[in-house]
Structure 1
Amino acid sequence: MNLDVPIADLLAIMLGAARTGAWLMICPPFNSRLIPSTVKALLSVGLTLPLAPYLRGTLPSLETSDIIFSAALQVFVGASLGFITALLFAALQAAGDLLDLFGGFTLAMGYDPLSQNQSSVFGKFYNLVAVTLLFVTEGHQMVLRGFLESFKTVPLDATFALNTFSEVLLKGIGDMFVAAIQIAGPLVAVLFLTDVAFGLLNRVAPALNAFQLGFPAKIFLVLLLSGLAITALPGVVGKLVERAVSAVLQLTGG
């Protein structure tokens, strides 16, 4: 059976799928290597299909050079939007890495099934909890909706403001470090005070070898305090989703 698909509709879907595919490759939680590339490619087309009637009216010129330039631009736009979102969610991974650094877990590296790379213990733990909470709270739908809004604010025939991207990128990097410090800051402060206390104890009674006792004490404090701090992660993930969506809308002028 032969299907007669108009060239304009086909080009609109392919250009939209190029932006969506680039976004899926970078944006969490869709960037997981556990999702095959074939599935991501089909998902990018499936997410673009409902927007085909709107995208058809925003097509650039049908000249070959314009189509190639537009395809490259869509990949860049999708990758930029995905990177901004991934940058904010990296705050949880960074917070876990800070806890591993100050708690003495940096020597115990584990395998992260999401990124399929070596990761620290609490960095991997915070990442897994964040992804779980993202799906439980339906935050992934908000992130996806924020991205799909970019087709209205930045249509296929529009240009992309690099100065706005640089401003949002710098702000996103700052927000990532601030969020990581806010998440891990109280626990890091407690671990630092623990080191100070054992240092003073070592000066008062050198024969006790207080620093040797400090490692199990810090591990106990990290496990205890992280169990208490995990109750705040749902609110943190919700705020990160709101920041990511607002950053995407700001980048696209929405």
Structure 2
Amino acid sequence: MLSSPTLAALLLASIRAAAWLLISPPFNSKAIPNMVKALLAVAIALPLTPQLAGQLPDITAATMLIGAIEQVIAGVALGFLTSLVFAAVQAAGDLLDIFGGFSLATAFDPLSMAASSVFGKFYQMLCTTLLLVSGAYQFVLLGFTKTYSVLPLNGTLSLGTLSELITGGLADLFVATLQIAGPIIAVLFCADLALGLLSKAAPALNAFSLGFPVKIFLTLALAGIGISVLPGVIDGLTDRAVRLMMEGAGS
């Protein structure tokens, strides 16, 4: 028979985990049923319940309601920090779509409920696949479980620290995006420059009519090189995501 503090700790810990799973990749995909996410949240919180039971000195309806709201805020904040890191991969694919001419071929994605282009969606799916296949998701889960010891159930997030981390995370997002897509974008810019010079030197050739086919060919030819470095990028992003969660929790 479980005691009241144990059940209360399990409930609050599961609420934080559920809020985190709804936002954090790779678990935020709509391909994962909500029932599975709920069970996974309980599975994350259950082993931690004995050590969390002593963090709730007073159990009343008011404290449980306030505690549930605080855990939702904590889970959403930690999930947003995690998703902010891995969003760099999809952002790099979106940049390739813009500079490579694939942004014209957008399609509605029923999983994200938004329109996405070719490389943006492909890079997102590849990131999710690499997280699952390489086992990097286990380190992300481990980092999240460590937040329970850094930020107890009766603790609160520091809004000042959280705002600094979000600001720094956005800067890291742009830097990582340029690091992933920058080399290919530089080649595409050189191709545009070469076509412009060719059009000036020989206007009769109508070089700009070759712009889209040439840029699409270069993007497809160089995409393999960009994809080959993604496993190393995912390793670095995983480490960054774990450190952001720990710092956001107050470590």
> Above 0.5 in TM-score?
yes
Q: Which residue of 2 aligns with 1:146?
A: 143
CA apart distance, 1:118? 2.4
Q: What corresponds to 1:108 in structure 2? A: 105
Residue 158 of structure 1 deviates from its aligned partner by 1.2
Q: Deviations over 1:115-161 (max 9, x none)?
A: 35321100111111111111121100000000000000000111211
Candidates 5, 18, 38, aligned match of 1:41: 38
The 5-angstrom pairing of residues 24-39 of structure 1 reads 24-39=21-36
Cα drift, residue 170 of structure 1: 0.5
Structure 2: 5+ residue stretches without partners: none
Cα deviation 1:55-114 (Å, max 9, x = unaligned): 101115213222211110000001100000001100001000000000000011135465
Aligned to 2:229: 232
The question of whether the paired residues in 1 share the 8 Å contact of 2:78 and 2:245 is answered with yes
In 1, the alpha carbon distance for the partners of 2:74 and 2:153 equals: 10
Contact 1:60 1:67 (8 Å CA) reproduced:
no
Paired amino acid for 1:24: L
Q: Which residue of 2 aligns with 1:127?
A: 124
- Deviating runs (4+, > 2 A) in structure 1? 110-118
Amino acid in structure 2 at the alignment position of 1:97: D
- Name the counterpart of 1:217: 214
2:239 alignment partner AA? E
Q: Quick one: distance in 1 between partners of 2:124 and 2:155? A: 36
Q: Percent identity?
A: 52
1:83–1:38 Cα change, 3 Å: same
TM-score by length of 1: 0.95
In structure 1, what is the Cα distance between the partners aligned to 2:95 and 2:63?
47
Q: Deviations over 1:179-214 (max 9, x none)?
A: 001100111111111111111111111111111111
**1:246 corresponds to which residue?**
243
Q: Does 1:53 align with 2:50?
A: yes
Assess if the C-alpha contact under 8 Å between 2:158 and 2:250 holds in 1. Answer: no
Q: Which residue of 2 aligns with 1:76?
A: 73
* Residue pair 1:87, 1:173 contacting (<8 A) in 2 also: yes
Contact 2:157 2:250 in 1 (8 A): no
Instruction: Flag the 1:28–1:60 CA change in 2: closer, same or farther, 3 A.
Output: farther
For 2:241 and 2:156, locate their aligned partners in 1 and report how far apart those are by CA, in whole Å.
Answer: 22
Task: Note the residue ranges of structure 1 that are not aligned, 5 or more in a row.
Answer: none
Whole-Å separation in 2 of the counterparts to 1:60 and 1:182: 48
* Alpha-carbon separation, structure 2, partners of 1:103 and 1:60: 59
For 2:25, give the aligned amino acid.
P
Question: What's the counterpart of residue 179 of structure 1?
Answer: 176
Counterpart Cα distance in 2 of 1:74 and 1:124: 31
Give, in whole Å, the separation in 1 of the partners of 2:151 and 2:58. Answer: 16
Normalised by the size of structure 2, how large is the TM-score?
Answer: 0.97
RMSD: 1.2
